[in-house]
A and B are shown apart, each in its own frame.
Chain A
Amino acid sequence: MQNDLGGEPPRAERPEEPSRVDGSRRGALKVLVALGGAAYAGAIVVPAVTMLAPSSEGGAGAARWMRVCRLAELTEGEPRRVVVVGDERDAYTVTKDQLLGSIWVTKKGESVTALSAVCPHLGCSIDLNGDKKSFSCPCHTSKFSLAGAAEAGPSPRGMDPLVVRVVDGHVEVDFKLFRQGIAERKEVG
């Protein structure tokens, strides 16, 4: 529906020549476009990768001693699940008194041992079997001895031991988390 008064003016015909510029200028423009494009892409990709890449920051390696229970609460040779409570630093917040994880502690004479309750397979929570003679993970039925050695199931390594000490009758543990699914024991932050 053309309107004579307000219609669009006719457009210029396309030039016959493929381009108005000659060979060398064409080459230069091509390089310009490529360089400009690369600069533009780089300006996006580099910060993007830097931003998204997992940060190396984190408390890996540093001791985080946490008080978990009293020595007197433990029964000789019988593992007990205790909860680790402490301040949690998660990206932009620090929250006091958070549940950080749970561990199994066992008293043997005067010494105490501790095992992470996180299954080294894929990270489910390990339970003590009813007969209290072994541990098992309900997720894919990994089985561990009381000492934490892997006995059956898909777990690639035994339960992760944690360093413990007893201070004034209190059990303290150096709480850490480890990577799952691999045979080596690698700490995560």
Chain B
Amino acid sequence: MKLGDWLDERTGYRAISRKFVEATVPGGARFAYAWGAALGIVLLLEAVTGVLLMTVYSPSATTAWASVAYLQQKVPGGWIVRGLHQFGAQAAIVLAVIHVGYAIARGAYRKPRELTYWLSLAMVGLVVVTALTGNPLRWDQRGFWGLRVETGIIGTVPVVGGVLQQLLLGGGTPGHMTLSRLYTLHTVVLPFLLGAIAAKHLWLSRKHGPALATPADAVKSDRYFPTQAARDVIVAVAVLGVIGALTWMRHGAPLDAPADPTSDYPARPEWYFLALYEMRKPFPGKLELIATVVIPGLVAGYLVLLPLLDKKADRGVMKRLPLLAPVGLFGVAAGVLTFASMRTDAADAEFGKAVAKAEAQGTKALALAQEGVPPEGALAMLRNHPETRRVALFEQHCASCHRMGDLGPPKDKDTAPDLTGFGTKAWAKRVMEEPDHDAMFGKTAFKGEMPSMTKPPADPEAAKAFTAMAPADLDAIADFLAVQAQGKKGEGLPGEKLVSQRCTSCHRFDGKTDDEDSLAPELRGWASVPWILAQIDDPGSGATYPKGAMDPKLEGHMPAFKDKLSEKDRALLAKFVQEQAGK
């Protein structure tokens, strides 16, 4: 007994494949019939790529983005699978609409095919909903803000809206539970529903066969295999070509920066929802439900009722024009609205800027993710990375008094020396020339404590005795101080001698000063990283300024950050201030 016989006896597969090979297509094979088959094949592609994605994806607010970034960047071929899945989903929407559109134009919704038609409408809806539940799973900005708006719309639906919204979110705000629920819907509930409906739809359309255009077609007939099958495959492969090309061009599917509820992300819906998005614009306030619920409901209702309204015997498009006109109108309106929405955004410079900013953020996040994402999640990664964090730290703790480059207190609100270029030769020179300038010590309690080396004092008596420091000496001291800021000792430099001769009457140098009561700071190692760090840790410690000069308890002095910031953060800030000087 052969294996084939053995198997056939138990499964009856021969009869099944014979049925498939010998199936006929009444009226003859057509390319127009291939859209449905192509949709089926794309859905199969979605299932296979979806299962593959599930082997990497991890649905929680802290891991989702990271796992997708990992898939996109590190998993071999991961980006291809992701691209095929995402563009496949969009192709499925397009194919489903074409398929149903053709059925409507052809009048294929009429008796006895009403159910077949209704099931196909349900499929369009399910394909879209499945795509919608898939988008937020990657937990990037686009997916996240899209979800916020979509669930927001659901929340406005009268009566059930609130509960439905909470059910979807798994609580009040989007988070872990939201992802678990969307994931369950997207990977289990909706695909099973879709599969079941597709199977029934296919079975019914086989049972009834295609709706024939003319009675003359009734005499024609083709074998499904290979005449129609070839057409199905040609269309499906062409569609696959488009999906593949898009995947290749975008290197997988786009991935924005991780979802950040604090950002000013310019949210826009996916392209297939732009028409709905645009339509709401003329309906302000309470009327909005007209755009979000009433009009879409009426359109869907009309499409559902179509088979019941169309009672004419004739299938000719012309004869059914009054019934088809509204459907055509929906299509045209959707196209026009989509186009209008795209044009408004394209013309909006502000929006363009916001999009560019979001894209830059995304690129940065992906670059950081290359090194691995910490368990706190991708958003924390972005926020805690030294590059981002030190700016945030400075803004939060220093920029209310100090200015440094672009960072700083509101206009004229600075009360402490300007740190732009702190530790450079220019800064050192300036503090010797005009120590009481607003950008130096002019707004601090030290104003008036240090005399200018080049300008005579205001008091006429003192001015008489004043001799300006020679430019060469000034230069040498500034040079020496700039070297200190670099963290080098600079021993033997001409400036070192000058400092010990001319500055130590007030300043400390290697801890020594001629005037123990002076408040002037230590110049050895001035503006170097350890010096700045010591100042941040505790200005009153005596390491930078003499003890008591900077007592943080004194009004208007710099506070100590030793207990307020972690050691890491303080080190980060000290290095930041020093590094910025070089820029």
Contact = CB atoms under 8 A, between A and B. Distances in A.
A147 interface: no
Contacts of B410: 73-75, 78
Nearest to A141: B281
Main secondary structure of the interface of A (DSSP, over half): loop
Given A101-B261, A138-B354, A152-B284, A179 B155 contact: yes
B285 A58 contact: no
Interface residues of A, number: 52
4 smallest CB-CB distances across A and B, nearest first, come from A188-B172, A122-B152, A54-B166, A181-B156
B9 A100 contact: no
A79 to B, nearest CB: 12
A84 B262 contact: yes
B444 interface: no
B409 interface: yes
A83 B61 contact: no
Interface string B385-428: 00000000000100111000000011101010000000000000
B148 A123 contact: yes
A73 B163 contact: no
A124 B9 contact: no
B380 to A, nearest CB: 7
Interface residues of B, number: 58
Contacts of A179: 155, 162, 172
A127 B264 contact: yes
Contacts of A21: none
A41 interface: no
Given A95-B380, A139-B149, A141-B281, 4 more contacts: A138-B354, A154-B285, A154-B288, A156-B285
A28 interface: no
Contacts of B411: 75
A100 B152 CA distance: 19
Nearest to A124: B267
A54 B167 contact: yes
Nearest to B164: A54
B261 A55 contact: no
Interface string B144-159: 0100110011011000
B152 A1 contact: no
A123 B149 contact: yes
Interface string A122-140: 1111010000000000111
A124 B148 contact: yes
Contacts of B383: 97, 99
A73 B351 contact: no
25 contacts: A1-B9, A54-B169, A55-B171, A58-B171, A72-B401, A72-B413, A73-B400, A81-B264, A90-B61, A90-B177, A91-B175, A95-B62, A95-B376, A96-B376, A98-B376, A102-B264, A124-B148, A127-B264, A138-B267, A139-B266, A181-B152, A181-B155, A181-B156, A182-B155, A189-B172
A137 B264 CA distance: 10
A103 to B, nearest CB: 9
Contacts, number: 134
B1 interface: yes
A72 B409 contact: yes
Interface in A108-164: 117, 121-125, 127, 138-141, 152-156
Contacts of B281: 140-141
Contacts of B401: 72
Contact of A73 (B5, B175, B266, B399): B399
A92 interface: yes
A98 B260 CA distance: 10
Nearest to A178: B172
A141 B61 CA distance: 29
Nearest to A152: B284
B413 A75 contact: yes
A117 B260 CA distance: 13
Contacts of B413: 72-73, 75
Contacts of A81: 264
A177 interface: yes
Contact of A53 (B149, B167, B175, B260): B167
A75 B410 CA distance: 7
A74 B401 CA distance: 12
Interface string A62-93: 00000001101111001001011000001111
A106 interface: no
Nearest to B401: A72
